[in-house]
C-alpha cells in the first residue's frame, strides 16, 4: 500500500471546494553569499576551469509536499526554524517558482510577511499610498482606506510623517500589517507578521484576521506561538525538514508537536 | 477520461490504492484544473499582463516620484541637487571640451550643442544603467507582493524622465541665453522626447532581464555606455566628421551605420529642433539633408525597442523572484 512510501496519497474530500492545491512541490533556491578566497586571481582561475561560484549553494527547502486546502479553512503551519514554513508560504503566493510539482490556487494569494518590503527612506504616509497602489487599488480607494490604515497601525503621534527607517521593528510591523490588511484577499498568507507587535496590537490584529478569514477563501498562518495557532486555526500542518510530518485538527497536531519538541 | 471514477465518492483512499505516487500527482493537478484553480507562479497571458501593467500605472508614477524624492534625502541641500547636478555637469564639460580642448570645430554656439547632447544621452544612459538593477535592487519587494514585474523598469524610466524634465529647465535657459529665438519648431521636441522615452523603456526592460539573472552585466554596462557615448556624437558633431574629404566619407557604410545609432538619432534630432543655428549649419554649410531620415529611424527604434523589450522581459516574468 501507499503508506509504506515516504509520500502518502492525499485524501480528497469530493464534497468541498478546494482553494489551494499543493501537488508534490519541490522548491530549490540558490543562495549567493561570501565564499571562496575572494580575490580576483582565484575568481579568474575558477572561471577558466568552468566551475560555478563556490559561494553559490542550492538549498532544497521543500521536498515533495502535497495537500489540499478547502474554502473557509484556517491552516496553521508549524515546525522548527528552517523547516521550510516561510518558503512554503512564498511558494503558495507564487513568489518562489517551484522546481517541480505545482501550486494551484483560486485567485491571487497575498502574503503578509515580517519583511514585506516597504521603502525605508520614505515616510509612513508615502508607504501607505505605495503599498495600496502596488496591491492594485485605485487612487480613490487608497484615499478612502488611508485613515483606516493610520488608525489601525496606531503609531505614536507624528510618526506617520517620519521616514520608516526611524521606526522601531514593532512599529514597522504594525504599519505593514495595517497596509496589507486593508484589502480583502482570496487566499491570505500570514508569516509571523504579528510576532513583534505589543499585546494591544495582537488583540486588534487577531480580530482583523477573523474578519479577513470570513471574507477570504482561506487563511494560512505561520507562527511560533502555539497558543496563537491553536486559537486562530482549525487545521494544522507540521512540516519537518521540508517534508510533511503531520496534518490534522489543530489540537491534535499541536499536542503532538509539543510532545515531540519536549516543551 | 478516467477522472469520474477516480474521483467518485470513494475519495482519496481509492486514488492511493489504484495509483502509485506518480499518478497521485497527476490526479492532483487534474483535480485542481477541474476546479478552476490556476498555477500560482505561472505567467499570465500577454493580454492580461498588459492590462495588469496598465492597471498599476498609478503605482508606477507614485513609485517613481517616491524614488526621486528619496534620492537626495540624506544631503543637506536636498532637492536643490536635482537642479545643481545638471548645472555642474555642464560646467565640467564646458571646462574640458569648450575651454581646454576646444573641440568646437566651427560648430556655432558650441555650449548649447554640447549641453543638449550631454542631457539627452544621459537620459538614455541612466535609464539603462538603473534599469539593469531594477529587479535586483527590489528583490524584497518582488518577494513580498505580487505585481507585474515590468512595472519596475517602467518606473525607473519614469524616474529618469522626471530628472530630465528638471535638467531641461537648465537646457532651455542656456539655449535662450545664447540668443536662440522661440519658434514653433521647438514643439517638435515633445514627440522626440516621447520617442526617446519609448526607446529607453524598451532598452531598460531588456537590461532588466539580463541584469536580473546575471549581475555581471551591471559591472560591464558603464564601459559599454562610455563607448556608446563616443560613438554617438555627444561631444562632437558627427555630420562635421562626415564632410567631403574626411575619412568617414571614404567609407559610406560606416557613416550610414553611425547614423542609425539610436542615441545619435535622438540627440541629433533634438539639436535640429532646438538649435536653429546648428540646424542651419548642418543643412546649408555642410549640405546634409538627413532630418527626414532621422525621424524615420527614431520611430523605428522606439517601436522596435518598446515592443521587443516588453516581450523579452515578459517571457521571464515568473522567474524574477528566484535566486
Instruction: Tell me which of B1-5, B137-141, B178-182 is least confident.
Output: B1-5
Does residue A13 sit at the B interface (CB-CB below 8 Å)?
yes
Instruction: Please report residues of B whose CB lies closer than 8 A to that of A115.
Output: 140, 144
**Which residues is A74 bridged to in the sheet?**
A219
Q: What is the pLDDT of residue B139?
A: 76
**Interface contact flag, A90 B143, Cβ < 8 Å:** yes
CB atoms within 10 A of CB B20: 12
Q: Pick the residue of B15, B40, B49, B52 with the most A CBs within 10 A to test the interface with A by mutation.
A: B40
Kindly report the length of chain A: 263
Top residue of B11, B19, B22, B37 to mutate, by most chain A CBs within 10 Å, is B37
pLDDT the model gives residue A53: 61
- Report the pLDDT value the prediction gives residue B68, as an integer from 0 to 100: 83
Select, from the ranges A70-84, B57-71, B294-308, the one with the highest average predicted confidence (pLDDT): B294-308
Mean pLDDT of B73-102: 79
Res A54: pLDDT: 61
Q: Tell me the chain A residues in contact with residue B28 when contact means C-beta distances shorter than 8 Å.
A: 10, 21, 23-24, 66, 68
pLDDT exceeds cutoff 60 at B13? no
Asked if A104 and B29 come within 8 Å (Cβ–Cβ), the reply is yes
Pick from A86, A112, A75: which is nearest to A205 by CA? Answer: A112
pLDDT for position B286: 73
Which residues of chain A carry a pLDDT beneath 70?
1-9, 32-38, 51-56, 113-118, 193-197, 216, 263
Residue of chain A whose alpha carbon sits nearest to that of B38: A104
Nearest to A60 by CA among A34, A38, A83: A83
Chain B residues near residue A11 by CB distance under 8 angstroms: 11-13
Longest CA–CA separation in chain A, Å: 64
- Per-residue confidence (pLDDT) for residue B5, from 0 to 100: 35
Full strand arrangement of the beta sheet holding A243-249: A109-113, A187-191, A218-222, A73-78, A235-240, A243-249
Report the candidate in A44, A121, A67, A10 with the shortest Cα–Cα distance to residue B68: A121
Residue B11 pLDDT greater than 60, yes or no: no
Tens of pLDDT, residue by residue over A31-66, are 766 555 667 777 777 777 776 666 667 788 888 888
Residues pairing with A113 in the sheet: A191
pLDDT at A59: 81
What mean pLDDT is predicted for residues B119-146? 85
What's the pLDDT tens digit per position in B176-214?
888 888 888 888 999 999 999 999 999 999 999 999 888
Rounded distance, CA B285 to CA B277, Å? 11
Amino acid at each position: 500500500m501507499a503508506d509504506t512510501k515516504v509520500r502518502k496519497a492525499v485524501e480528497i474530500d469530493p464534497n468541498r471546494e478546494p482553494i489551494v492545491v499543493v501537488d508534490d512541490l519541490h522548491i530549490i533556491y540558490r543562495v549567493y553569499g561570501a565564499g571562496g578566497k575572494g580575490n580576483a586571481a582565484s575568481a579568474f582561475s575558477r572561471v577558466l576551469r568552468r566551475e560555478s561560484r563556490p559561494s553559490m549553494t542550492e538549498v532544497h527547502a521543500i521536498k515533495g509536499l502535497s495537500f489540499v486546502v478547502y474554502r473557509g479553512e484556517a491552516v496553521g503551519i508549524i515546525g522548527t526554524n528552517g523547516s521550510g514554513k516561510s518558503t512554503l508560504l512564498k511558494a503558495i503566493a507564487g513568489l518562489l517558482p517551484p522546481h517541480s510539482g505545482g501550486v494551484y490556487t483560486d485567485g491571487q494569494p497575498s502574503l503578509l510577511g515580517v519583511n514585506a518590503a516597504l521603502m525605508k527612506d520614505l515616510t509612513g504616509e508615502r508607504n501607505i499610498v505605495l503599498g495600496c497602489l502596488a496591491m492594485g487599488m485605485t487612487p480613490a480607494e487608497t484615499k478612502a482606506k488611508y485613515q483606516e490604515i493610520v488608525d489601525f497601525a496606531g503609531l505614536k503621534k507624528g510618526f506617520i510623517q517620519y521616514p520608516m527607517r526611524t521606526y522601531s521593528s514593532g512599529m514597522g510591523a504594525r504599519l505593514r500589517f495595517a497596509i496589507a490588511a486593508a484589502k480583502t484577499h482570496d487566499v491570505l498568507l500570514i508569516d509571523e507578521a504579528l510576532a513583534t507587535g505589543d499585546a494591544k496590537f495582537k488583540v486588534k490584529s487577531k480580530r482583523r484576521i477573523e474578519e479577513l478569514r470570513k471574507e477570504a477563501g482561506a487563511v494560512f498562518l505561520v507562527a511560533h506561538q502555539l497558543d496563537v495557532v491553536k486559537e486562530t486555526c482549525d487545521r494544522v500542518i507540521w512540516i519537518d525538514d521540508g517534508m510533511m510530518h503531520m496534518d490534522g485538527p489543530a489540537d491534535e497536531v499541536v499536542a503532538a508537536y509539543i510532545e515531540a519538541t519536549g516543551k | 477520461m478516467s477522472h469520474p471514477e477516480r474521483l467518485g465518492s470513494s475519495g482519496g483512499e481509492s486514488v492511493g490504492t489504484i495509483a502509485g505516487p506518480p499518478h497521485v500527482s497527476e490526479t492532483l493537478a487534474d483535480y485542481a484544473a477541474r476546479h478552476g484553480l490556476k498555477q500560482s507562479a505561472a505567467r499570465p497571458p500577454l493580454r492580461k499582463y498588459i492590462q495588469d501593467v496598465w492597471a498599476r500605472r498609478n503605482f508606477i508614477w507614485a513609485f517613481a516620484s517616491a524614488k526621486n524624492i528619496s534620492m537626495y534625502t540624506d544631503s543637506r541641500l536636498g532637492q536643490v541637487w536635482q537642479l545643481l547636478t545638471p548645472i555642474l555637469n555642464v560646467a565640467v564639460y564646458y571646462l574640458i571640451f569648450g575651454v581646454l580642448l576646444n573641440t568646437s570645430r566651427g560648430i556655432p554656439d558650441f555650449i548649447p550643442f554640447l549641453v543638449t547632447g550631454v542631457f539627452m544621452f544621459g537620459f538614455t544612459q541612466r535609464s539603462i544603467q538603473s534599469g539593469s538593477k531594477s529587479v535586483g535592487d527590489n528583490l524584497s519587494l518582488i518577494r513580498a507582493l505580487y505585481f507585474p514585474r515590468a512595472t519596475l523598469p517602467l518606473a525607473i524610466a519614469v524616474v529618469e524622465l522626471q530628472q530630465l524634465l528638471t535638467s531641461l529647465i537648465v537646457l532651455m535657459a542656456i539655449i535662450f541665453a545664447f540668443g536662440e529665438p522661440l519658434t514653433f519648431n521647438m514643439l517638435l521636441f515633445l514627440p522626440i522626447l516621447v520617442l526617446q522615452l519609448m526607446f529607453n523603456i524598451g532598452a531598460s526592460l531588456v537590461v532588466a532581464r539580463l541584469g536580473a539573472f546575471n549581475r555581471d552585466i551591471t559591472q560591464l554596462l558603464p564601459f559599454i555606455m562610455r563607448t556608446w557615448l563616443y560613438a554617438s556624437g555627444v561631444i562632437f558633431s558627427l555630420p562635421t566628421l562626415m564632410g567631403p574629404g574626411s575619412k568617414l566619407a571614404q567609407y559610406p557604410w560606416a557613416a550610414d551605420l553611425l547614423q542609425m545609432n539610436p542615441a545619435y538619432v535622438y540627440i541629433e534630432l533634438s539639436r535640429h529642433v532646438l538649435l536653429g543655428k546648428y540646424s542651419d549649419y548642418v543643412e546649408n554649410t555642410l549640405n546634409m539633408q538627413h532630418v527626414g531620415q532621422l525621424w524615420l529611424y527614431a520611430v523605428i527604434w522606439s517601436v522596435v525597442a518598446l515592443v521587443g523589450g516588453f516581450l523579452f522581459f515578459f517571457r521571464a516574468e515568473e522567474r524574477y523572484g528566484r535566486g
